[in-house]
Structure 1
């Protein structure tokens, strides 16, 4: 599965559906896939002052990214999200990893519903789908 940056941020900051999605990845229920571009974005966003994450919180997410996540090399780059081209990196990762799911809170991505075999869901819908 691919997690959008907003899922990592929400999982870290709030005890909700996004945290449960991340817990399921950590328990080994789903393989977590990343690209170097996704890792760089997550690390950059964690530093935004508005989030006020502690160093320990940031280190926890960075550990998940590097130790639990599986790095995939993009096999092809997509240009599908015209409204926000920076979201294309998640579609590229999903196709390259042949991921079953892309979990996001981003409406630009959610509108697509599916790309290849990858279902694009928000955290709540994902948890319903796998329950």
Structure 2
């Protein structure tokens, strides 16, 4: 998630961080980045030091085709995010949800640069 203010803020939840770390260990992704679990953990330790963590208390059922994706919407709402950056087709299909723009990483980079 991403919240736009005078300074850009990373908004995450514990379950999102754990899911991303798990996905980065998939063999097809390890072939691309070449990192071991310990290196991924260190990277995330540095990254999340600057992140705002949401409490994951809100209950939503906005993604019926993949309920596990609801955690991204919960995080965005709780963190007052302006954007969700994702490659997930279930989330991208929502386009704009509750005023939150759901875009790809490339689209987000295009906005920044």
Give the strand-richer structure, 1 or 2.
2
- The alpha-carbon deviation at position 75 of structure 1 amounts to 4.0
How big is the alpha-carbon RMSD for the aligned residues of Structure 1 and Structure 2? Answer: 2.3
8 Å contact kept, 2:58–2:74: yes
Q: Structure 1 or 2: larger helix share? A: 1
Q: TM-score w.r.t. structure 1 length?
A: 0.68
Deviation at 1:110, TM superposition (A): 0.9
Could you state the TM-score of these two structures normalised by the residue count of structure 2? 0.77
- Count of aligned pairs: 106
Gaps of 5+ in 1: 4-27
Partner of 2:24: 46
CA distance in 2 between counterparts of 1:119 and 1:66 reads 22
User: Secondary structure of 1:32's partner?
Assistant: strand
Out of 76, 82, 97, the residue aligned to residue 64 of structure 2 is 82
Measure the CA separation in 1 of the matches of 2:60 and 2:43: 27
Match of 2:78 in 1: 96
**Residue in structure 2 matched with residue 6 of structure 1 by the alignment:** none
Unaligned runs of 5+ in 2: none
Cα separation, 1, equivalents of 2:88 and 2:94:
11
Q: Which residue of 1 aligns with 2:9?
A: 31
